[in-house]
């Protein structure tokens, strides 16, 4: 937990759709929480794992945050926890808001959302309206019953198109983005297939027109790494290295800084001495004997083929 983390109380649970639950997280003493901009997200600790959720409430309400959580079928644990285990009055540890998807000033906006990707878009619509900028929203999803915020969106008028796949098919992105317009920004959030299709359909727009948000980092989606354990002989600590994260990143998050430079196993800066266990080398600098010997490893890329490694750190 970081010093800037917040302990918030669950003060409301609403159903936004069959599979989406909305949580209102309030400061325990009704004081103001850190402010946020449209597009911001918070990290939420869900038992053992941490998940990111976009803030989608009203920014003027300073003492609480609102998030909308989709129950993922083979979800990575976090959504099931928030759906099934978290009750009114429970406390949750969350990070201060951060924004990787800020709304850049523009003359006009085209918003495209798929499924739960609607969440960061909702406050953007309010902001664009407040700024007096024209906008449109195309919101796709599998079926109406799964799509959150329909009531709120209907109130915003005809610039909203709610387009469930079982009624209207896939979003007609080619037609929507056929004519590039300078001064217009496109904001898109949703599943990878929608983001990829939007990137393709907007390829002829001026550079900088398209802004997207991916919830799951690309690397995680394709990773085949196994989890293993790293014990530090001198520091005396022990760390789990999950798939898709390097040893050096896990150590850095835990406050154990190991110098690094290239990040891909070409420079040797992060070289560490292996005391026990078998490294799985992924660098490009050790020679064949060194690999076989297994005394050194580059912890920015290499992993373990044994369940645990002991490093001289």
Which residues are at the interface with ligand FES (CB under 6 A)?
A: 260-263, 265-270, 283, 298, 300
Q: How far is the CB of 57 from other proteins (least distance, A)?
A: 20
Q: Residue 158: name its binding partner from ligand FES, other proteins, none (Cβ under 5 to 8 Å by kind).
A: none
Q: Residue 27: name its binding partner from other proteins, ligand FES, none (Cβ under 5 to 8 Å by kind).
A: none
Stretch that binds other proteins, among 2-10, 147-155, 163-171, 284-292 (CB under 8 A): 284-292
Question: Which residue lies nearer to other proteins by CB, 41 or 66?
Answer: 41
Q: Residue 257: name its binding partner from other proteins, ligand FES, none (Cβ under 5 to 8 Å by kind).
A: other proteins
Contact 96, 4 (CB under 8 A): yes
Pairwise CA distance, residues 113 & 141, whole Å: 8
Pairwise CA distance, residues 49 & 43, whole Å: 10
Q: Which of residues 130-189 bind other proteins (CB under 8 A)?
A: 187
Stretch that binds other proteins, among 1-9, 26-34, 172-180, 260-268 (CB under 8 A): 260-268
Asked if 284 is part of the footprint of other proteins (rule: CB under 8 A), the reply reads: yes
Q: How far is the CB of 62 from other proteins (least distance, A)?
A: 23
Asked if 199 is part of the footprint of other proteins (rule: CB under 8 A), the reply reads: yes
Q: How far is the CB of 77 from other proteins (least distance, A)?
A: 25
Asked if 202 is part of the footprint of other proteins (rule: CB under 8 A), the reply reads: yes
**Residue 294: phi, psi to the nearest 5?**
70, 25
**Residue 167: phi, psi to the nearest 5?**
-110, -45
Binding mask 86-125 for other proteins (x = CB under 8 A): -------------xxxx-xx--------------------
Contact 35, 59 (CB under 8 A): yes
Question: Which residue lies nearer to other proteins by CB, 80 or 267?
Answer: 267
Contact 129, 63 (CB under 8 A): no
Pairwise CA distance, residues 46 & 42, whole Å: 12
Q: Residues 33, 153, 210, 299: which binds other proteins (CB under 8 A)?
A: 210
Asked if 271 is part of the footprint of other proteins (rule: CB under 8 A), the reply reads: yes
Q: How far is the CB of 68 from ligand FES (least distance, A)?
A: 39
Q: At 289, is the secondary structure helix, strand, or coil? A: helix
Question: Which residue lies nearer to other proteins by CB, 26 or 260?
Answer: 260
Pairwise CA distance, residues 37 & 124, whole Å: 9
Q: Tokens 């129950």 identify what position?
A: 71
Q: Tokens 């050790």 identify what position?
A: 286
Asked if 286 is part of the footprint of other proteins (rule: CB under 8 A), the reply reads: yes
Which residues make up the interface to other proteins (CB under 8 A)? 39, 99-102, 104-105, 187, 199, 202-203, 206-208, 210-214, 257, 259-264, 266-269, 271, 284-287, 296
């Amino acid at each position: 937990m970081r010093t800037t983390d917040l302990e918030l109380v669950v003060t409301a649970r609403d159903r936004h759709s069959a599979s989406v639950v909305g949580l209102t997280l309030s400061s325990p003493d009704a004081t103001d929480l850190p402010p946020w901009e449209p597009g911001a997200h918070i990290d939420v600790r869900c038992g053992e794992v941490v998940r990111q959720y976009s803030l989608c409430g009203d920014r003027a309400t300073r003492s609480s945050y609102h998030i909308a959580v989709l129950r993922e079928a083979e979800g990575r644990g976090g959504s099931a926890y928030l759906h099934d285990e978290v009750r009114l009055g429970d406390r949750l540890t969350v990070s201060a808001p951060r924004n990787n998807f800020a709304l850049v000033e523009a003359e006009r906006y085209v918003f495209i959302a798929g499924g739960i990707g609607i969440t960061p878009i909702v406050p953007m619509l309010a902001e664009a309206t407040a700024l007096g900028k024209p906008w449109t929203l195309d919101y796709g999803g599998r079926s109406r019953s799964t799509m959150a915020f329909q009531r709120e969106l209907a109130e915003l008028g005809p610039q909203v198109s709610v387009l469930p796949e079982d009624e209207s098919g896939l979003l007609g992105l080619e037609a929507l983005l056929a004519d590039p317009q300078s001064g217009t920004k496109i904001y898109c959030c949703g599943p990878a297939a929608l983001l990829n299709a939007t990137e393709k359909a907007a390829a002829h727009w001026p550079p900088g027109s398209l802004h997207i948000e991916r919830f799951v980092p690309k690397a995680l989606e394709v990773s085949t790494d196994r989890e293993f354990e790293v014990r530090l002989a001198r520091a005396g600590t022990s760390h789990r290295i999950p798939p898709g994260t390097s040893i050096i990143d896990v150590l850095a998050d835990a406050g154990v800084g190991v110098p690094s430079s290239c990040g891909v196993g070409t420079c040797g800066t992060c070289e560490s001495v292996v005391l026990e266990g078998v490294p799985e080398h992924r660098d490009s600098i050790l020679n064949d004997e060194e690999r076989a010997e297994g005394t050194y490893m580059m912890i920015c890329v290499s992993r373990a083929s044994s369940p645990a490694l002991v490093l001289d750190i």
